[in-house]
Amino acid sequence: MSLKINTNLKNQLTANFIPRKTALSTAVAIALFAGSSHAATMPELQSEINTLQSQMNALADKMETQTRVSSESSAHSQVASKTHIGGYGELHYNNIEGKTPEVDFHRFVLFFGHDFNEKIRFFSEFELEHSIAGDGQNGEVELEQAYIEMDLTKQLKTRVGMTLVPVGILNETHEPNTFYGTERNPVEKEIIPATWWSAGASLNGITNSGLSYDLVVSEGLNTPDGFNIRKGRQKSSKAIASDLAYTGRLKYTGIPGLELAATARHESNISQSQLTDAGAATLLETHIIYSKENFTAKALYAQWDIEGNAAKSNNADKQYGYYLEPSYKISENWGVFARYNEWNTTTIDANKNTQTDFGVNYWPHKQVVFKADYQLKKVGSTEQNGINLGVGYSF
């Protein structure tokens, strides 16, 4: 038996046979039947309805999947936009008098950070030195920074975790494209000693006049002999925290092109009370950076006063160092510099070290640098003159 399907019958069949999964599928099905004007038997009609229903279900499922994927993609995109990756690296060639020439991928560093919201963020620095680490190898793997930073006000924040000590010029900013010379200057390396980090908590503030301040409580040094500062860095690796250290810095950048800074750090006991003849120690550091057009001048002075018989009996109770560095940008890509360094880790004048460096930096891109310099170095009575070449990058 055949029949003509009028509008009422179509609506009735649609209501009886098409499950209402979505408003869209129902609307489309009705529209399709409304456009039909041919005669059909009941079995044929039911078959057509079933086919259309299957198509509508498939379409609805596809739309739901697309909506879910779009939502998930948007969520992942938002997380990714708050996570930051960076890093730097440097390759060196050193040909120094009295030493075997060397090529060394000195540092490979990665930064990882994440903004939890507008006021809370995480930052970390992961470093591989000298290319290969492990037993019998020259290199080492180090976690140099890992901290949570929180904004307390618009001009005051706190950091809790492992941070760089706020001292000197290079300790906090040492990407190779930011300084002259293949190697980092020996004064900040031997006296401060850069790179220097420790675990603790800090308050970091800035005023509208360009004056900023940092107050830090952290792990202290643990020197093996009571006076070797560089060997006393604990690097937050199961660091003994019997005697804490306290650091304060003031920095002024209120005049364009000028930076003035001073840091004081007090070590309660530089052997963590492990040595009976070791005592407290105080580091004082100050520096100035002045830039005008293409010319920049830097000057830094640092000194340690170390208490205890261990340091005094080894003539190491006073240690100092300073350097002067003028530089000039010939163009956007080329710059030249000279630097005079002097330092002494003892109180004996004959042990004074000096080093004069002069050379050139070439930046094919502001974050990529090629370096060449010559050093005239005198360690006590030994000369260590030679050539240094390097390439570095940061991102």
Residues 229/245, Cβ–Cβ less than 8 Å: no
What Cα–Cα distance (Å) separates residue 110 from each residue in 85, 128, 131? 7, 9, 14
Q: Choose the weakest-confidence range: 65-79, 217-231, 324-338.
A: 65-79
**Residue span of the structural domain in which 201 resides:** 82-394
- 364-375 residue pLDDT tens: 999 999 999 999
Residues 260 and 363 in one domain: yes
Last residue of a domain, one of 41, 76, 111: 76
For residues 172 and 59, membership in a common domain is answered with no
Q: Are residues 27 and 111 in the same domain?
A: no
Same domain? For 161 and 183 the reply is yes
**How many domains, the chain?**
2
209 and 245, same domain (yes or no): yes
pLDDT at residue 52, rounded to an integer: 79
359 plus 217 within the same structural domain: yes
Cα separation, 93 vs 370, whole angstroms:
12
Last residue of a domain, one of 25, 41, 76: 76
Rg (CA), the chain: 34
How would you classify residue 119: left for phi > 0, otherwise alpha for psi between -120 and 50, otherwise beta?
Answer: alpha
Asked if residue 103 and residue 66 are part of one domain, the reply reads no
Is the predicted pLDDT of residue 65 greater than 90, yes or no? no
Identify whether residues 19 and 137 lie together within a single domain: no
- Are 303 and 204 within one domain? yes
Q: Which of 10, 41, 76 lies at the terminal end of a domain, its last residue?
A: 76
Given a contact cutoff of 8 angstroms between Cβ atoms, the answer to whether 243 and 273 are in contact is yes
pLDDT (tens digit, 9 = 90+) per residue, 176-235?
999 999 999 999 999 999 999 999 999 999 999 999 999 999 999 999 999 999 999 999
d(CA 263, CA 301): 11
Clarify whether residues 222 and 341 are in a common domain.
Answer: yes
Say if residue 71 is in the same domain as residue 180: no
CATH number of the domain bearing residue 279: 2.40.160.10
The per-residue pLDDT for range 300-330, each reduced to its tens digit, is: 999 999 999 999 999 999 999 999 999 999 9
Residues 121 and 189 both lie in one domain: yes
User: Could you give the CA distance from residue 198 to residue 2 in angstroms, rounded to a whole number?
Assistant: 90
